[in-house]
Amino acid sequence: MLNPATEEVIALAPCGSVADAEAAISAARAAFDAGPWAAMSVGERVRYLQKMYDVLESRVAEICELIVLEAGAVQSNARARQFDIPMKHFRRFLELVSRQDVRAIAPELTRGAGAGTVLGTAFVVREPVGVVAAITPYNYPYFLNVVKVAAALITGNTVVLKPSPYTPFEALLLAGAAAEAGLPKGVLNVITGGKEAGERLTTDVRVDMVTFTGSDQVGAEIVAQSAPTLKRLVMELGGKSALIVRADANVKMALGQALRGFTSHAGQGCAMNTRVLVHNSLRKEFVEQLATMARAVKVGDPRASDTQMGPLIRAAARERVERYVALGVDTGAKLMAGGRRPPDLTRGFYYEPTFFDNVESQSVIAQDEIFGPVGVVIGFDSDDEAIRIANDSRFGLRGGIISADVGRAFEMACAIRTGGVTLNGGAGTQLSDGPFGGVKRSGYGRELGEDGLNEFTQTKLIEIQAG
């Protein structure tokens, strides 16, 4: 595995084959069908997973260092975003799952065949889906490994986890924590490897569900691969989210959110606000200030405490960014900052924070998910125009509005076709009970909170006649 900041080899990781994937599926299937996990009480599963949680918490320094080395995250992002938040969700899952798994529904009276009356009612039982394949990307590997695995296991499923080939160690570490916590054999299985191993997970009839985070192109392939076996799917796919800056906006707040929208974790985030829609009365000054801020971002080794933006994951990711920047220039957009590799960083997959003004909504750089440190600014004159531009996307994952009129911002948020919207920066964290997911080509299904837990269960109706 390469360190994306230095291009040096971190360590050698195993590369799983199709046969390894089949063995992992067999182990998970046996553990679900004949093992104790699904039959355990919720309290018993909670005790196992609490031990696993404690093991992970005891290794916080080691895990954060691995996130920096393997994923290229800067130190602050590794701890606050990529470790603390998923562990908060893990804790919340442990609390939520203790809710009632069996609920009674209101009885009904029905006239019987004779003179009598039948009193009928039923119970709704939540049960695990079965064997879950969790396929995760390279940008937030520990985060996504934890929330998918914890939610699936706590609801009684068994799991085969397949991480990105670029970031296998954070998944292998999770498997080690499960073993140390004493989880029964076959309950959590980790398979490394490439496309062939992943395709085995998405096509095998013994897998009941796939939860995937990644690009919309790969998501579409997974949907097609899983269709013959009618698997349950949760697809958390790409995004091209819009931040709307109204004329009455707090400009300082808006600038900060706009900058983070394309520089946080080198732009490698599906929910980032990479389209910034600015009211034309503010746009000229806004763009000038954003350019100054973008040029001041310290790019470099993510191990350094003062680094604000680290590298992209691999050379191919940087080359993709370079192609889109060239397309932006060729189509007449105005390059305001960046647009090149940092001249002082000759090793590592670095690229300068980059953004364009004078961008048309239908242009390639305003429509495609670039997945790098590239943002675009688009002007508007009315709320209706801003909503139209925000919805002018094949994606619909997140969005944001900055406005002094919170009521009007709420009305606009309701008109935007997206899975979530932040108003004036949002809640300051990813809320423990907030469902996360998108619409259109950003996928379907939800993660996190009770909605996320319910994705890993199915309901059974058990009817009963009294008397």
Give pLDDT tens digits for 81-115.
999 999 999 999 999 987 667 889 999 999 877 77
Rounded-to-integer distance, Cα 228 and Cα 210, Å: 13
What are the φ/ψ torsions at residue 410 (nearest 5 degrees)? -65, -45
Sheet bearing 188-190, strands edge to edge: 188-190, 158-162, 131-135, 209-213, 232-236, 443-444
Choose the catalytic residue: 64, 70, 170, 236: 236
Q: Which among 165, 180, 155, 161 is positioned nearest to 27, based on CA atoms?
A: 161
Other beta carbons within 10 angstroms of residue 98's beta carbon come to 11
Bridge partners, 337 (sequence order): 355
What's the confidence (pLDDT) of residue 66? Answer: 97
Report all structural domains of the chain as residue ranges with CATH numbers, in order of start: 18-237+442-466 (3.40.605.10), 242-431 (3.40.309.10)
Burial of 251 (0-12, 13-18, 19+ CB in 10 A): middle
For 289-310, give the DSSP string: HHHHHHHH--BS-TTSTT--B-
44 is annotated as an active-site residue:
no
- Model pTM score: 0.96
Q: Give the SS3 label for residue 71.
A: helix
User: Which residue stretches of 166-279 are H helix?
Assistant: 169-180, 195-203, 216-226, 251-263
Paired tokens of 337: 């900052």
Rounded-to-integer distance, Cα 440 and Cα 64, Å: 34
What's the confidence (pLDDT) of residue 99? Answer: 67
Rounded-to-integer distance, Cα 393 and Cα 56, Å: 39
Residues 6+ apart with CB under 8 A from 426: 400
Rounded-to-integer distance, Cα 272 and Cα 350, Å: 19
User: Which residue stretches of 6-96 are H helix?
Assistant: 18-33, 42-58, 60-71, 75-76, 85-96
Give me the amino acid identity at 136: T
What's the confidence (pLDDT) of residue 467? Answer: 63
What's the confidence (pLDDT) of residue 280? Answer: 98
Identify the segments of the chain with pLDDT beneath 70: 99-100, 467
Paired tokens of 69: 């080395």
φ/ψ bin of 405: left (φ > 0), alpha (ψ from -120 to 50), beta (otherwise): beta
Rounded-to-integer distance, Cα 450 and Cα 454, Å: 6
User: Each residue of 334-371: pLDDT tens digit?
Assistant: 999 999 999 999 999 999 999 999 999 999 999 999 99
What's the confidence (pLDDT) of residue 237? Answer: 98
Choose the catalytic residue: 64, 70, 270, 455: 270
288 is annotated as an active-site residue:
no
Burial of 383 (0-12, 13-18, 19+ CB in 10 A): buried
Rounded-to-integer distance, Cα 243 and Cα 402, Å: 8
Cβ pair 142, 175 in contact under 8 A = no
